[in-house]
Amino acid sequence: MVFYKCLKCEKKWQHPVDICPFCFSILERVKTTKAKVIAKSKVSIPSLMHPKVPYFALVLEDEKGIRFAYKSIEEKMIGEDIHFESNINDDAVAIWRNNYDLLDSIEIISELLGGFNLNSKSKILILPTLVSSTHDYLRDNTSTEFLSAVITFLHDRDVKEIKIATQSFDDYEIENLAQKSGILDVCLKNKIVPFDLSKGAFVKKGKIEISKEVEEADLILNLSILKSGKGSSTENVFKLINKENYFSLKYLYSEEEMVLQIKDIKNIVSIGEAIYPQRVDKFPVFRNLIFASKNSVNLDAVFNATGLVNQLPKYLKNIDISNIPIVGRGILEVQRNIDILL
C-alpha cells in the first residue's frame, strides 16, 4: 500500500494529499511492502457494504510503523505477516480493490503478475477501450484517470517510448471518439501522439491480419473497461486486427473460433478497469476493482462471475473459473456469484 507522509511533522495519510494541512509541506509518497497483524476483531453482523459474515477486521502495522485497517475472510493470528504471492502463470488473473490511489493499485496488480520487466528501452503500446462518443462518467470507454495512472506508472519506470493506439470498427471517426471521451486530452497532456491503427500497416499471421505495431512493441497494455455480460477485454484485443479482416472472420467463424485466432499474441497484458463497471442495462455501479491477466478470456470469465447476471458470450459459458489461478484479493464462491474480499 501507499501512504503519504509529511517529512516535517511526520503525519501520515492513506488517501492522496499534496500538501500537509498542518505545516503546508510537500508530502512524500511512501510505499509499504510488509505488514503484520497487531489487533483483530471478528465481525458477525452483516452490513450493506459487508453482507457476508463472519469476517475479521484487522489492524496492520508495516515496517515503517504505519497502522491501517484490513478485512480478511480468514482468521489471522496476532504477529502474523500479511503478504500476497505473485503468479507468473500466463493463465493467472490478478484482482485488487482500489483504495484511494489508482497508481498504487496498478503497481500492485503488476507485482501480482510478476512485474512487467520495464526499462528505458521498453517499447509500450497502450490499447485503450474507445467504442462510444460519450463522456467519461458513462464508462463506455477507458476513463481518463485510469489512462493517466497507467502512463504515470510507465514514466516512473523510465519508459520513454509509449504509443496510444486503437481503431474504430463502426461509423464513428476515431478522432471524435478520442476527443469526446477525454482520451485525446490525456495524450496531449503527456505529449503522446495518438495513433489510428487503421491507417498503419498490417501483417498476415495465419488467418488474421495483425497490426505491425504489435510486432514492434515489447508489451501491449490492453486497457479494457469491464462490463457485465460482455467479454470486454477479449473484445478489445480484436482492435489489433485489420477491420475488413475482422468482419470477414466474424462472418465465417463462431465466437469460440474467433477467440482462438488471437490466442497466439503473447505480448499482451490485459488490465480490466472495474471501478464503475456497467451492468447489463448499461448503468455504472461502484465496484472499485482492477483485474489483470495475460489471458484476456480468463480475465473476462472471472470478472463476469462476480456479477449479478449470467448473460455471457458463448466462449465464456463453459469456462470453470475454479481452474483459473487467482492472486491478490481472495474470492469466496456463494451460489453462482462470487464475492471479492476487501
Tell me what the pLDDT averaged over the chain comes to.
86
39, 149: one domain: no
- Residue 336 confidence (pLDDT): 37
pLDDT band at 337 (very low <50, low <70, confident <90, very high): very low
207, 315: one domain: yes
Average pLDDT, integer, range 97-123: 89
267, 121: one domain: yes
Bridge partners (DSSP) listed for residue 338:
333
Q: How far apart are CA 173 and CA 327, in angstroms?
A: 39
148, 18: one domain: no
Q: How far apart are CA 115 and CA 7, in angstroms?
A: 30
Residue 42 has pLDDT above 80, yes or no: yes
- Residue 330 confidence (pLDDT): 61
60, 114: one domain: no
- Residue 288 confidence (pLDDT): 86
- Residue 310 confidence (pLDDT): 56
Average pLDDT, integer, range 120-132: 93
φ/ψ of residue 133, rounded to 5: -85, 70
pLDDT band at 335 (very low <50, low <70, confident <90, very high): very low
Average pLDDT, integer, range 294-319: 81
Number of domains in the chain: 2
Residue 340 located in a structural domain: no
pLDDT band at 280 (very low <50, low <70, confident <90, very high): confident
253, 151: one domain: yes
72, 102: one domain: no
State the DSSP string of 123-191.
EEEEEE----S--GGG-SS--HHHHHHHHHHHHHTT--EEEEEE--SSSS-HHHHHHHHTHHHHHHHTT
341 vs 252, higher pLDDT: 252
Residue 342 has pLDDT above 60, yes or no: no
16 vs 180, higher pLDDT: 180
All cell numbers assigned to 79: 504477529
All cell numbers assigned to 277: 463497471
108, 74: one domain: no
Residue 141 located in a structural domain: yes
- Residue 311 confidence (pLDDT): 67
Residue 87 located in a structural domain: no
Average pLDDT, integer, range 190-206: 91
Residue 53 domain boundaries: 2-82
**CATH no. for residue 200?**
3.40.50
Average pLDDT, integer, range 269-294: 88
Which amino acid is residue 135, in one-letter code?
H
All cell numbers assigned to 186: 490525456
Residue 334 has pLDDT above 50, yes or no: no
**Of 82, 110, 136, at which residue does a domain stop?**
82
- Residue 18 confidence (pLDDT): 81
Residue 339 located in a structural domain: no
- Residue 163 confidence (pLDDT): 94
340 vs 118, higher pLDDT: 118
Residue 35 has pLDDT above 80, yes or no: yes
Angle of CA points 306, 312, 314, to nearest 5° = 140
- pLDDT digits 0-9 by tens, 235-273: 999 999 999 999 998 888 888 888 888 877 878 999 999
- Residue 12 confidence (pLDDT): 84
**24, 12 contact by CB (below 8 A):** no
- pLDDT digits 0-9 by tens, 201-238: 999 988 889 999 999 999 999 999 998 878 789 999 99
- Residue 258 confidence (pLDDT): 85
222, 284: one domain: yes
Average pLDDT, integer, range 88-107: 88
- Residue 32 confidence (pLDDT): 74
- pLDDT digits 0-9 by tens, 136-148: 888 889 999 999 9
**194, 243 contact by CB (below 8 A):** no
- pLDDT digits 0-9 by tens, 160-189: 999 999 999 888 888 888 888 999 999 999
Residue 77 has pLDDT above 70, yes or no: yes
Bridge partners (DSSP) listed for residue 131:
none
Residue 88 located in a structural domain: no
Average pLDDT, integer, range 102-110: 91
Residue 286 located in a structural domain: yes
